[in-house]
Structure 1
Amino acid sequence: MFYLASAKTHPAQRTGWGNSATGPSHYRLGHGEHTFAVELSPNAERLDVLVAETLISLHVLDTDGRRANVEVEGVRRRYAYHLDADVLWLHSNSSNLHVLDLTHALVKGQINVHSGTLKAPMDGAIVDVLVSEGATVSRGQLLLVLEAMKMEHPLKAGIDGVIRRLHVIQGDQVKNRQVLLEVAPLDVAG
């Protein structure tokens, strides 16, 4: 629905136009406390949707702003929905789903950053470690680079201090909220 809504914002003669090679569209969607990387690839009249290594083929048959008729893996289904900017509510006979489009949202992360504990904002891989234990850092200084959903996310110091403990090295796979490093404030670093 996010994909279709974004296409409808352009005049018909420009819908589908792009200045780069065609390829999959990448989305970051949220449901509850979970975040999912979603890859959409147009395939004739269908969309191939890749989520958590599961490929789903779907065809949106029609929508009227309130209901959508969708063919999922060859089975026709009808969903009531409400799309409001980056929020989608889907309702079917068996369940309800509330989804957030986080694709262009700022990465939250850095939970407890002011306490000196830097945590991963999402699942990903550490692609660069720019500090070592014992190094003095300044608030806002780039410490690590996390790659998630084919994008690099800079992780910066939230306080002035000294790197007390570094829990990761370049190449490590990390989980959402995993502690990456600890910074001791300058006044208690010694």
Structure 2
Amino acid sequence: MLPFEIVPYLPLDTTPQLLRLRGRGADFVYLGAIWTTALPVMRDAERLGLTDKIRFGGYENSQAIPLLELGPAVEGYFAPRAAPWYEEVPLLTDMYMRYEGKIDTGGDGASTLLFASAMIEAIRIAIDSVGYENLDGRAVKEAWESIKDFDPLGVKKLTYTPEDHRGSAAVRMYEVQGGNVVPVSDWQEAPMLVPEK
């Protein structure tokens, strides 16, 4: 493992960081940033001729539709996802087509649809439990931790517990292939990493 390289949240040029990584012999770069950071990094990596030499990947929200606009520069870019990709969620694609006329978002639609629905459900459960007048953060947290196999939109089942706030322990690897994001693995249980005390 090589030392970390830090780039600004909205970098204009990541040439120095990428050249240092190349000089250290990096063959894989994990982008722990949202797509707005991944975009210039990948653009610069292509300009420097590094996309054939270094494999790039990131976390779920780094693999957003605007990244695909870079074409060949992002071929092979991969990310684990806790929620399906856009085309795998008919409700989401229907909403985009109906209200925007195309699927064009910089966010993570399926994750937002999935996890926001769970938060709304937690608030509903909390109001049913303590009443609107007594609604507070503790009531919402307790309600949230009581959600089991929740899937109102047919996206994916979510379960929360006091010990596990991920909603879903299952992830799937996705990769950019031919300008599309496609699943390259089955859903797999991901271990929860907790710092030692």
TM more than 0.5: no
TM-score by length of 1: 0.26
Query: Relative contact order (alpha carbons < 8 A, sep ≥ 6): 1 or 2 greater?
Result: 2
More helix as a share of residues: 2
Which has the greater radius of gyration? 1
